[in-house]
Structure 1
Amino acid sequence: MSTPTDSLCDVAGIEVGHFTDPRRPTGCTVVMAREGAVGGVDVRGAAPGTRETDLLEPGNTVQTVHAVLLSGGSAWGLDAAGGVMRWLDEHGIGLAVGPARVPIVPAAVLFDLHVGDARIRPDAAAGYAACAAASRQAPAQGNVGAGAGATVGKMFGMAGAMKGGIGSASVRVGDFTVGAIVACNALGDVVDPGTGRILAGARQSDNTLADTTAQLLAGRTPGQILPGTQTTIGLIATDATLDKAQARRLAQVGHDGLARCIQPVHTTSDGDTLFALATGRVATPPPMTVLCVMAAEAVARATVRAVLSASTMKNGGLEWPAAADLAAP
């Protein structure tokens, strides 16, 4: 057994690769299963940007997923999935359909176009580069890949927001491992589920944390919020042997992990989406209740790491401090 990395890559059969665009804060992240994996998805946000999610329905024909793309760039970022398909095809990976192979690549995007030049967004070349960078090593966290331009705490305007990012974690119980990767770009605040302390979120004029939920309950009016301009996306993977219905269940309960850490979550302006992959490397019948608990825990830990691993981002006259920098003396 390889040395644990406390990341999604602890799941046998999974590789992760980032592409971060040096021209502005944006990028994409690819989770690859070269030998294929059973997939599921659950969309809870009201403003999602997704691709190839219908085929993950348990009653639909396709059974195997070869990669999942998480991307910045809003709907433009879905273009990066074409580059993922091209890389997989060049490496002989895909669903055999007559004379051809068709790589199956579901995808979800988050909105980061308000940071830097919105004309720069992940494209097919970015998806291809993320595949080329994929490995079994623990993926970088913070301001990389799909989390490069992510921000959180935007309920009362971008000027008072903080830096989001991407994070990963894993949980092992007995023979089974469950890992998660989360690109956190939430409208709400991110809290430590163990203490309830706000880690990153909306700031007041004196740079203290506003506590979005408390402010809303006290009657404060949200700022101008455009639908779809937020969104937390991620993926859960396990080495258990699951069918598509069980994989979808894992994606569903993974949202419990988001709900522990993001307040409020699943809003009308977020497109919160979680995928699940099961590589089937462990043949023992899966304890679904335990796997579900593990999935929610892995998602919660990955979400917290997404903001704790981030670094402050500046753009024009605005600055979005990171949790670590705001807490520093």
Structure 2
Amino acid sequence: EVRPDLEMGYRAAASASAEAPAEGNAGAGTGATVGKIFGMKQAMKSGLGTASMEIGGGIIVGAIVAVNAFGDVVDPQTGRILAGARTTKLGPVRLGSTDYFADTLAVMKTLAGRAIMKLAMSRNTVIGVVATNAKFTKSEATKMAQMAQDGLARAIRPAHTMLDGDTIFAMATGQKKADVSIVGAFAAEVLAQAIVRAVKAAKPAGGLPSASDR
């Protein structure tokens, strides 16, 4: 049995709504977690996030993403960790704290590759969609998806590891003429914003704290 199948896709399309989608512990974000270099015990809860913007000329770019990453989620502007692998210290999340987060990249400096694989035997995938009302060919939509991956790397540290299955799809509704390089650049921006929203909207679950647990 293959899932999702044709019937599920049809039902999803029939259920389409103009209402804002749920974020955090909803849909594909229900079981999402981040910061798993020490395994699940010191990880944090993540979820589903969305973001969109109008970039001029009536062109709209949006993103929705389920953030289930091996690495930490950071503020793209400052690099500050928002959710990720925790130290063994207990207590509520203290944003800006220098001792709550282990910092996955810092830990990786001290570990051999085999040690990372042994500690982080969990399934990780950041999967999302960037969409626009621009008129693009299939190859241009593919280019937009490629450029959007930059947003993933801005908000997740590290990203695209061998422990991740990071995949971004693209959709274009064909209503407005636009330059793919411009739209792709902002697709990266909204994807990074959606990733941040995914961890900020998540609530504690399964014994794991979240960025909102403070």
> TM-score of the superposition, structure 1-length normalised?
0.58
Alpha-carbon deviation of 1:132? 5.4
Following the alignment from structure 2 to structure 1, what is the Cα–Cα distance between the partners of residues 72 and 120? 15
Alpha-carbon deviation of 1:82? 3.6
Count of residues in Structure 1 that have an aligned counterpart in Structure 2: 201
Question: Is 1:232–2:126 an aligned residue pair?
Answer: yes
Alpha-carbon deviation of 1:214? 1.1
- Identity over the aligned pairs, expressed in percent? 48
Q: Does the CA contact (< 8 Å) of 2:39 and 2:121 recur in 1?
A: no
Paired residue for 1:139, among 21, 29, 36? 21
Following the alignment from structure 1 to structure 2, what is the Cα–Cα distance between the partners of residues 226 and 211? 18
- Which structure has more relative contact order (CA 8 Å, sep 6+)? It is 2
Map of 1:276 onto structure 2: 170
Following the alignment from structure 2 to structure 1, what is the Cα–Cα distance between the partners of residues 14 and 30? 18
Alpha-carbon deviation of 1:131? 4.8
Following the alignment from structure 1 to structure 2, what is the Cα–Cα distance between the partners of residues 310 and 131? 26
Map of 2:95 onto structure 1: none
Specify the SS of the correspondent of 2:20: coil
Map of 1:299 onto structure 2: 191
Structure with the bigger percentage of helix: 2
Change in Cα spacing, 1:131 to 1:279, as seen in structure 2 (3 Å) is: closer
Specify the SS of the correspondent of 1:136: coil
Change in Cα spacing, 1:132 to 1:240, as seen in structure 2 (3 Å) is: closer
Unpaired runs of at least 5, structure 2: 91-99
CA offsets per residue over residues 117-150 of structure 1, 9 Å max, x none? Answer: xxxxxxxxxxx4x555430111110000111111
CA RMSD of aligned residues (A): 1.7
Question: Is 1:163–2:45 an aligned residue pair?
Answer: yes
CA offsets per residue over residues 64-109 of structure 1, 9 Å max, x none? Answer: xxxxxxxxxxxx8x61334323xx2xxxxxxxxxxxxxxxxxxxxx
Following the alignment from structure 1 to structure 2, what is the Cα–Cα distance between the partners of residues 179 and 258? 14
Paired residue for 1:150, among 16, 28, 32? 32
Following the alignment from structure 1 to structure 2, what is the Cα–Cα distance between the partners of residues 152 and 194? 19
> TM-score of the superposition, structure 2-length normalised?
0.88
Q: Does the CA contact (< 8 Å) of 2:63 and 2:191 recur in 1?
A: yes
Q: State the AA in 1 paired with 2:120.
A: I
**5 Å matches for 1:51-62?**
none
Q: Does the CA contact (< 8 Å) of 1:201 and 1:211 recur in 2?
A: yes
Q: Which protein has the larger Cα radius of gyration, Structure 1 or Structure 2?
A: 1
Q: Does the CA contact (< 8 Å) of 2:134 and 2:175 recur in 1?
A: yes
Following the alignment from structure 1 to structure 2, what is the Cα–Cα distance between the partners of residues 173 and 158? 39
Following the alignment from structure 1 to structure 2, what is the Cα–Cα distance between the partners of residues 83 and 224? 39
Unpaired runs of at least 5, structure 1: 1-75, 89-127
Question: Is 1:263–2:160 an aligned residue pair?
Answer: no
Question: Is 1:321–2:209 an aligned residue pair?
Answer: yes
Map of 1:13 onto structure 2: none
Map of 1:27 onto structure 2: none
Following the alignment from structure 1 to structure 2, what is the Cα–Cα distance between the partners of residues 205 and 305? 25
CA offsets per residue over residues 29-57 of structure 1, 9 Å max, x none? Answer: xxxxxxxxxxxxxxxxxxxxxxxxxxxxx
Specify the SS of the correspondent of 1:301: helix
**5 Å matches for 1:60-99?**
79-85=3-9, 88=10
Following the alignment from structure 2 to structure 1, what is the Cα–Cα distance between the partners of residues 5 and 72? 30
Following the alignment from structure 1 to structure 2, what is the Cα–Cα distance between the partners of residues 83 and 144? 22
Following the alignment from structure 2 to structure 1, what is the Cα–Cα distance between the partners of residues 33 and 3? 22
Question: Is 1:309–2:205 an aligned residue pair?
Answer: no
Following the alignment from structure 2 to structure 1, what is the Cα–Cα distance between the partners of residues 66 and 24? 9
Q: State the AA in 2 paired with 1:236.
A: V
Paired residue for 1:246, among 129, 136, 140? 140
